[in-house]
Amino acid sequence: MGNNRWTRRAVLVIRNMKFQNKLMFGYLLACVIPLISVSVIIFNQSAAGLEDSSQEFASLYTSQIRTTLNQFVEEYDKVTKSVLVENGLIYNLAGEHSLSMDELINQKMAIQRLMMRVTWLKSDISTLMLVSRDNNVYQYTTTTSRVNENALLSRAKEWNERYRNTEDPFFITGLHDRSYYEDKGKGAVVTVGRVLFSSDGAYAGLLLIDLDPFILLQLDQDFVLARDKYGMSVIISNRQKEIVYHSDAASGRLTWEHVLQSGADYIKDSEDEDRIILTGSTSEGDLFIKTEIPRSKLLQKINRIKGVTVIVILLSCVIIALISFGLSYTITKPIKALRRSMKQAEAGQYVPIEKEQANDEIGSLVYSYNKMILTIRTLIEEVYIAEIKQRQAKFLALQNQINPHMLYNTLESIRMKVLAKDDEESAGMIMILARMFRLALGKGGSYHSVKHELEYTANYMQLQNIRFDNMFSLSVKIPDEILHCTIIPLVFQPIVENSINHGFLDYSHPMHIVIEGDWNDEGEIVIRITDDGAGMSKEKLEELLAMLEHVELDKYKLEDGDNKPESSGLGLKNIAERIKLHYGDKYYLTIRSGMDRGTVVEICIPKLLG
């Protein structure tokens, strides 16, 4: 359930993502996923190939070491066998206790000559020792360092016990210190020896050759460089599992003393995941070779490959991202311009996209859209604006006409007064009527001030009071700032006329009309015209409100030809339509009725200074 919820959420996020982002991320994924996959495959193949190459090189290196050691063993086997040629000398070694003093001296000199010949066979030999069965020590050295005979005998006894009964009398000891040398110098040596037997099979003694461990491996420089490059270690041990040679000690990375102390740890069999281990041995099995390659060294190279791969991937991703952004921006730019133009069209601004478009599907879409916008704008100019102009013409005609019914009543009142009294009151009525004509027609139907609209309404009230014996009173409560604002003509007077025509009961009920103005929270002008007349029924109020609600829909419609003008004046609907036409749909005219009597008409118009 949780996975399904996350899946649906991811799908919803992708669905609501902007088209440019979808395009860009889609292109990125289409390029980056194959790039990463190919890079990972190449990296794994390279890492595996590097490890295989290292193992192949280590195998080759081990093979070279095996060849070198075979040659070493063969050479020193021959060198030590050369002593056996002196059968008489070897026989005498087995029976020194029965020789006279002169024979012992002659034998010692013969042994010295023999040892000298042996050292000439191999220039690597610096110290040669012979220990007889009777523990007499003979030594020959090309250096100044001599062997302490007593110290050597204890070591020779150990070797005698270990190698005397083996199948092969030739042996190579493990690394050991130089403690039996008189100088007790530092370092370690390897001893190559042979157990000597006389012709009758009797034990005669030991032939010992001390060698520097470096002599065991004499590789060319290319192999040494490759060994150091891969960090390989070469460990050579003998049959007794004693360490004979360690390349780290030979190269100075370890001391011989450390190798002597931890020799067993280097040659024990173990499966170490941190190292690649290859083994081998000489042809006779005298020496065993163990080659180790640290995986950390390989990992350094592999990590270097990984680093290069990551950098290449990142650079490729950046380049792909830039290309993706450029492509998505190029594709979505005309779409965004089309969307902005559509928003303007929704707001009533029919403006085509002016920028030159590419000759592709989107450019064709923009071209069709521009053609549609121009067609709509033409239709608006030909139909919509023409209808508004016709409506405005109708408004101007209504504005400039004089209400015939009002004019008839006024003239009738003047006639009756003139007949009855023949005094200045008739002249006053004529003066008021003239003033109303002047206010109504003075600006040809354009905007005039709220103050002028109030003067026109006040003059109308004076005429009605003459007609109805002062039954109406008018109160004005409007701030001076509002008085100087502009308003369309003939707004207050038709509303007051409706109040008198429909709200005046009889002469026993005088009517009071109040015109008050104020500002709303948005700084717009709100004017209320309130009377205390008869009011209206609930049904009549609902009918009027329904008519006013349809004003916004009817304001641009042409009236039917058979519609007759209202006999009661311009009417509330006409005023409401004019407010919508001139000021916009935000502004209005509404009507409310009192509980028992009275009516309130409220209008809202913008603040416009003349």
| Cα(438)–Cα(212) distance, integer angstroms | 137
CA distances in angstroms from 484 to 449, 457, 488, 562, 589, listed in the order given: 6, 16, 13, 40, 21
Please give the Cα distance from 575 to 580 (Å, whole number). 9
> What is the model's pTM?
0.47
Q: What is the pLDDT of residue 427?
A: 60
598's torsion region: left (phi>0), alpha (psi -120 to 50) or beta? left
Give 2-32 pLDDT, tens digit per residue: 566 676 776 666 666 666 676 677 777 777 7
Tell me if 579 sits within 8 A of 603, measured CB to CB.
Answer: yes
Chain segment 65-95, per-residue pLDDT in tens: 888 888 888 888 888 888 877 777 777 776 6
> How far does CA 372 lie from the centroid of its chain?
41
pLDDT category, 96, cuts 50, 70, 90?
Answer: low
Pairing relationship of beta strands 287-294 and 275-281 according to DSSP bridges = antiparallel
pLDDT (0 to 100) of residue 516: 95
For the segment 444-456, the average pLDDT, to the nearest whole number, is: 79
pLDDT at 98: 67
d(CA 19, CA 335): 9
CA distance linking residue 180 with residue 564, whole number of Å: 144
Q: Which two structure tokens, joined as six digits, stand for 64?
A: 């070279």
Quote the CA–CA distance of 605 and 192 in Å, as a whole number: 122
Residue with tokens 């509404």: 590
What are 533's two structure tokens?
């007349």
Q: Which of 290, 213, 288 is nearest to 255 (CA)?
A: 213
Q: Tell me the helix, strand and coil percentages in the chain, rounded to 5.
A: 55, 15, 25
**Could you give the CA distance from residue 563 to residue 417 in angstroms, rounded to a whole number?**
37
pLDDT in tens, 312-340: 888 888 887 788 777 777 777 777 777 77
For residue range 222-281, what is the model confidence (pLDDT) as tens digits? Answer: 666 766 777 778 888 888 788 888 877 777 777 777 777 766 666 666 566 677 777 888
CA separation, residue 561 to residues 258, 353, 558, 564, 565 (Å): 121, 41, 9, 8, 11
pLDDT in tens, 138-173: 888 888 888 888 888 888 888 888 888 777 888 888
**Contact criterion met (CB below 8 Å) for 376 and 348:** no
* pLDDT value at residue 335: 75
CB 440, CB 489: distance < 8 Å:
yes
Going from the C-alpha of 128 to that of each of 44, 119, 175, 244, 522, the distances in angstroms are 55, 8, 17, 19, 119
Q: How many alpha carbons lie under 13 Å from residue 272 in its C-beta half-sphere? A: 17
Name the H helices within 86-148.
87-94, 101-121
pLDDT of residue 244: 83
**512: which residues sit within 8 A by CB, 6+ positions away?**
472, 473, 475, 531, 532
Q: Average pLDDT of the chain? A: 77
Point out the least confidently predicted range of 358-362, 411-415, 515-519: 411-415
% of the chain beyond a pLDDT of 90: 9
% of the chain with per-residue pLDDT over 70: 74
Q: Which residues contact 265 (CB under 8 A, 6 or more apart)?
A: none
pLDDT tier at 468 (50, 70, 90 boundaries)? confident
b/e map 290-325, b = 16+ CB within 10 Å: bbbbbbebbeebbeeebeebeeebeeebeebbeebe
